[in-house]
Structure 1
């Protein structure tokens, strides 16, 4: 993807953005441009950051299949069981932007290591939890750790690799492992719960976090702006509370329906707070999110496309879990194992995405990947009530996952390109927020569609009808993303000389 600055001169913390060139977000990078190479040991830097990001992605889905076992083991009531997932999602999505800015202030390496350390300690506490209260506190801490480490890790990655082929390759691998981590979490959660105990779903993080903490200080350099900005407290408070209210409202809507008073009040409150946040940012001397960044088409539309990409694919995992368990009668372990094919598709997509972008453009990856995902999501409308449908489901999820990963890598490249290093923390914070809010939004939205389609019935036929309706909505959302990319991220032609 072309940058506003010269392709052969990557920006650094001391540089500023040059005036925009005629090249647009949709154009391929200049042919023959020689990419700069990152200082230090790029292979080790990439390995450490990718392992950490994979672990963070696994945590989003690792406990989903283990919830009934946790409820029985610790005495959760059925009504309170959903808080195991909700408490994590609230903090992971609500605090991402705020903690991404804290990383800019105190150093991204420092907050990344702090987040990974907190994740390890919280996971140990969750695995040893003797009662529901301790486990929920551990999940809150895991969510905060994810909100701190995810944008910081992504910012460390984008600043370690200059804009161009090397960064695209790194973002492709990062996107592939994060998406694969989400699907791998479903598989690992089922395996660990069935063979050992749900507690091992927590303990799994501890040795990985320890390894990252030992290696990261040796290979990762500190990264922060040369001029330290002030913390925008009014903006930080309103955006954090607004996101918390929005995510809480979505989870309540998924559980109780979109007309539930608590869901409506939270969603309305979140929308009001985010509107107030926008007004605060317009007037702030050093805003948390400078308005000029949000006016960039690459940032604004790139993040919206990323939001849709995560809403659709992660919610599809939920829909197919319902289908496999409620309609086909699969066990949690067998249903989780079925998503291994989807995971392979995302890894393949992450590997291919940098090549697709290099040969076409970021718009090519966004639109082409979206079309591929939409087609093979629509293929799932043909699923039936027998196991013969697996012959359709497995290749469709592989190819749909491949397409989705082209979109995700295209989104990451689009949303972080053309910005200097001192704004990468903000850019990656916005991208991480889009990712985590998208993951959180997808399931409650599709759960409400399934409930409407099934009429609230739990029979195999009713669930299949509800899932089919939700798959149609899912495919329509993917097509909406393709349309938005084509309309707002297409190349701008240079003005003709008079």
Structure 2
């Protein structure tokens, strides 16, 4: 894979894989009322249309990345796309709550294989340097665009053809990407001949499952619910067992060499905090547009386009900005821009409008979020040994997903509590809750600035001076 054209074709296929994963994450949000009516879901079962996907995705990412390293990333990516496409088709054909929720869980399994394998293949195609920076810019652009496009397509398809088409379109996309990977991404052998850490994988997967389940249940049942507390206790016990297993295994799931540069730890810590804001944004913003501003699903989806375009623009510009002013200044500027947009959103009105309350802050958030994502993704995989690239990709996706689950659970609880204790009409009470969520999100982004300094110290990647313009790749 030497020529620029062939590498570009491979990058397009791999970025497409990331796009369909992010699309499936957000495309159901706008359509949930129609899905509930169409399949006959209870309120609890409706939440599991979202939770089943996120739970399987977040819990199995580490295992997916390790399997990709051991069995071959392209082979595993193709298998993941096939599973993802078939389960998406099954979700669109579901006639019962059990079938729909099961299909969404299998979708999450496929996504947990796709995301780390695709990112590892990108890292292998583009060695460190400006070429990798541009590849990560594309990766960041499609990640943000996939989330925003999900909201848009969810509204358009639900209103035009019905809710089942949101899943059919994801299936079509997955099979199209599969063809692109077959045609454009070269085969490669497995890069790690070690043994699979069965017990370590089982314990950490169960720990993440318990954690994400507890967090998503806490949004509905409260933090002191016995089942929620039991899930957190199980998480602690399983993580303790995982640490003990890893110390004795000759080929641990998380080998110490993965963290020797210090960049992996810093990047994943920051990505978890960024994810806590990212996922919550795409949860609360469509709710405000529909429940308070009264927008239809279609108008709500169209309203996400400026944010998506800003995200793609920021991702495209991120490598150039970093080369010109250095990574430290780039990350700082990105986080300040995102925080400004979230602070703007924290002033939304119950009697506001899209132009006054959503458009401007959405553009600022899209720009800041995309630039920060590109830089932190690069930080999380920089310097990782080639045999561990898939695992590193799984780890950074895991921290973002779990961070998002934690952030959404906390913010949803605080927003719901605020709404419940606001002695005002319904629209004002809902808006008060959303304001709290956006305000705390802004504070979390500002906290990232201090966390970045604490976790990175003198890290050369983060505190680097502007890089040369040559492309060694």
| TM-score, structure 2 normalization | 0.92
Selected match of 2:428 from 456, 461, 477: 461
Q: Which moved more, 1:319-328 or 1:135-144?
A: 319-328
The reply to whether residue 123 of structure 1 matches residue 88 of structure 2 is yes
Distance 1:368 1:37, change over 3 A: farther
Partner of 2:452: 485
- Judge conservation of contact 2:71–2:190 (CA < 8 Å) in 1: no
CA distance in 2, matches of 1:224, 1:490: 37
* Equivalent residue in structure 1 for 2:296, among 327, 331, 337: 331
- Could you say which residue in structure 1 is the equivalent of 2:97? 132
Cα distance in structure 2, aligned partners of 1:389 and 1:69: 23
Contact 1:362 1:413 in 2 (8 A): no
In 2, Cα distance between the equivalents of 1:463 and 1:217?
Answer: 48
Q: Deviations over 1:334-363 (max 9, x none)?
A: 223222221111111111111122223333
Show the counterpart of 1:49: 14
Sort the Cα spacing of 1:122 and 1:389 in 2 relative to 1 into closer, same or farther, 3 A.
Answer: closer
Question: In structure 2, the residue corresponding to 1:81 is in which secondary structure?
Answer: helix
Q: How many residues align?
A: 458
Higher helix residue share: 2
Residue 37 of structure 1 and its aligned partner are, at CA, apart by 6.0
Listed one character per residue, the Cα deviations across residues 63-119 of structure 1 (whole Å, up to 9, x for unaligned) are 112122112111112221111111111111101101110111111101100000111
Deviation at 1:124, TM superposition (A): 1.3
The corresponding residue for 2:326 is 361
1:252 Cα deviation (Å)?
A: 0.3
Contact (CA 8 Å) 2:69, 2:191: kept in 1 or not? no
Shift of residue 472 of structure 1? 1.6
Q: Tell me whether 1:403 sits opposite 2:368 in the alignment.
A: yes
Aligned partners of 2:263 and 2:459 also within 8 Å? no
Change (3 A) 1:224 1:370: farther
Q: CA separation in 2, counterparts of 1:137 and 1:266?
A: 21
Distance change >3 Å, CA 365–CA 453, structure 1 → 2: same
Give the unaligned 5+ runs of structure 1. 1-35, 494-498
Give the superposition deviation at 1:444.
Answer: 2.0
Q: Which piece of structure 1 moves more, 91-100 or 370-379?
A: 370-379
| TM-aligned CA distance change 1:375 to 1:157, over 3 Å | same
**2:191–2:386 Cα contact (<8 Å) kept:** no
**Partners of 1:336 and 1:40 in 2: CA distance:** 34
Contact 2:27 2:154 survives alignment (8 Å): yes
- Counterpart of 1:470 (choices 437, 441, 445) is 437
Aligned residue for 1:104, secondary structure, equals helix
Write out aligned runs for 1:92-491 (5 A).
92-223=57-188, 225-294=190-259, 296-388=261-353, 390-455=355-420, 459-491=426-458
Contact 2:70–2:193 (CA under 8 A) maintained in structure 1: yes
SS of the aligned residue for 2:200 comes to helix
Please give the root-mean-square deviation of Cα atoms over the aligned residues, in Å: 2.0
Aligned CA distance change for structure 1 residues 102 and 476 (closer, same or farther; 3 Å) = same
Query: d(CA) in 1 for partners of 2:122 and 2:459?
Result: 29
> Is the Cα contact below 8 Å between 1:96 and 1:147 reproduced in 2?
yes
Q: Summarize the Cα distance change of 1:277–1:318 in structure 2 as closer, same or farther, 3 Å threshold.
A: same
Distance 1:318 1:344 in 2: 19
* Structure 2: runs of 5+ lacking an equivalent: 461-473
Shift of 1:392: 4.1
C-alpha distance in 2 between matches for 1:97 and 1:418: 19
> 1:374: Cα distance to partner?
1.1
